[in-house]
Copies of this chain bind each other. A is one copy, B any other.
């Protein structure tokens, strides 16, 4: 599951849903939570279900952000949208492994009730409270449905009582901790959305920092963010070229039976060669994907 860009769309905006079918994010998240006013939740559930069917052939993953388990709305949300077109549930304000087990159970119940097969449906918790971030390790490892965790910086900053800045020093610890926890559980890890649509440079800076820290991708709140985010999470031509030289030099040294080798004055220790190989594999996977579309 390549997850560089995950585009939010309010589940009740039919025009947006229609538009999304023409776009190429790696995933679309139909939202039932924050973008849906309380009195429109029920209608939005049906609309979300219809949208899943509408997007059944689209070349991206179809996810639903349900309401948090603490809201009391998640049960009805999951029941309403559980269907074969659904690829995953995004669970906001996740704070404990129990919540993820509960979400899992709700999927199992929907499966039993409707005679559906939902084994493929993934769970993606959003860690956006201090408790969620502090419990990141347990949350990321809470079962086989989990393929990724998301870090939500705005809610985290609200919960912590801090001030969001463009540079983001206030969430560096939380970002790095969530990345480590996700990677320890061998799942992907997605960064918070960039909310200032007018500041494309800020988006680019933050997306590159996210990639540097180990994130796999970034939430999008507008179609205009897809392309810059794909670019930020795709190795550049220079990076690919540099990685190729590293791998070739190391391979040549290995053929000659040498265990250590330098390139341009830099020692090519095993993990550096590993980083280069990973970068090449990533570039290739993205290339194949872009071709397939």
Binding site for B on A (CB under 8 A): 10, 12, 34-37, 39-40, 128, 130-131, 133-134, 137, 152, 154-155, 157-165, 169-170, 172-174, 176-177, 179-181, 183-184, 193, 195-199, 209, 211-214, 216, 221-222, 254, 257-260, 262, 264-267, 269-272, 274-275, 278
Contact = CB atoms under 8 A, between A and B. Distances in A.
A263 B67 CA distance: 25
Number of copies: 3
Contacts of A169: 172, 209, 212-213
B158 A274 contact: yes
Contacts of A193: 267, 269
Contact of A267 (B160, B161, B195, B216): B195
Contact of A160 (B35, B165, B183, B222): B183
Contacts of A213: 160, 162, 169-170
Give the most central of A39, A169, A173: most B CB within 10 Å: A173
A152 to B, nearest CB: 7
A267 B194 CA distance: 9
Nearest to A164: B275
Contacts of A177: 173
Contacts of A181: 130, 134
Contacts of A195: 266-267, 269, 272
Given A179-B160, A184-B134, A264 B198 contact: yes
A282 to B, nearest CB: 9
B257 A40 contact: yes
Contacts of A176: 170, 172-174
A212 B153 CA distance: 13
Contact of A265 (B165, B179, B199): B199
Contacts of A214: 157, 160-162, 170
Contacts of A163: 211-212, 275
A275 B158 contact: yes
A163 B179 CA distance: 13
Contacts of A274: 155, 158
Contacts of A196: 265-267
19 contacts: A34-B269, A37-B257, A130-B180, A131-B184, A134-B137, A154-B271, A158-B274, A161-B214, A162-B212, A164-B272, A164-B275, A170-B212, A193-B267, A195-B272, A196-B265, A197-B262, A197-B266, A199-B265, A221-B269
